[in-house]
Amino acid sequence: MKDNKPAVAAIVHGANDAADSLLAEFARHLRGLGWQVHGVIKEDTAPRKSCAREMVLVDVDDDTRYIISQDLGPASISCRVDPRGVAAASIALRRGLAEGADLVVANRFGELEAKGGGFAAEMLELMANGVPLLTVVVEKYLADWRRFTGNSAAELPPQRDAVHEWFASLQDKAAR
């Protein structure tokens, strides 16, 4: 018998892991199998001459792109995340709740969410309603994630098998 894993999980990674691409591949794989997956994934963009890479989220349901970065200039050391772009992208998570998704993916739990902003409200709503949620958490924010979830979320290594096993365990649990 498999462990009863929570319906909330984070792919925990260090600075050089490919967790973002793993989340994106997993979401697309499940959609290809017919699962109802909603949420946003990170899109890799080309470097720009004037500033760092543009940060873009893509809605896995309809491919809408949301620019979530601000060009603060090459000398800026401030956070480039544009909360307005994140707020616009949050519709993808809310749609997942409204439509009873099999899984909602959120590109990450980071600084904004740790401070109660970003996708924090949508994530809490999904958790409160038992909708499976998968996100990415860099080790720097792991303690914040644990507080946010009340230590109730599964923590997965950035490995394809671990993510698939976690999702399969949810289906096993639902079948009982």
Report yes or no on 2 lying in a domain. Answer: no
Per-residue model confidence (pLDDT) at position 55 = 82
Report yes or no on 1 lying in a domain. Answer: no
DSSP state of 69: B
Report yes or no on 3 lying in a domain. Answer: no
What digits encode the pLDDT tens for the residues 69-97? 866 555 544 446 788 899 999 999 999 99
Band (pLDDT 50/70/90 cuts) for residue 52 is low
Query: Which residue range is the domain that position 36 belongs to?
Result: 8-175
What digits encode the pLDDT tens for the residues 3-18? 445 799 999 998 767 8
What digits encode the pLDDT tens for the residues 103-155? 999 999 999 999 999 999 999 999 999 999 999 999 999 999 999 999 999 99
CATH of the domain at 97: 3.40.50.300
Looking at the structure of the chain, the number of domains it has is 1
Instruction: Compute the distance between CA of residue 76 and CA of residue 52 in angstroms, rounded to an integer.
Output: 10
Band (pLDDT 50/70/90 cuts) for residue 51 is low
Report yes or no on 114 lying in a domain. Answer: yes
pTM for this one?
0.87
Report yes or no on 132 lying in a domain. Answer: yes
Output the CA torsion sign for 149, 150, 154, 157: positive
Contact 48, 54 (CB under 8 A): yes
Instruction: Compute the distance between CA of residue 153 and CA of residue 37 in angstroms, rounded to an integer.
Output: 19
Buried b (16+ CB within 10 A) or exposed e, 119-150: bbebbebbbeeebbbbbbbbeebeebbeebbe
Report yes or no on 36 lying in a domain. Answer: yes
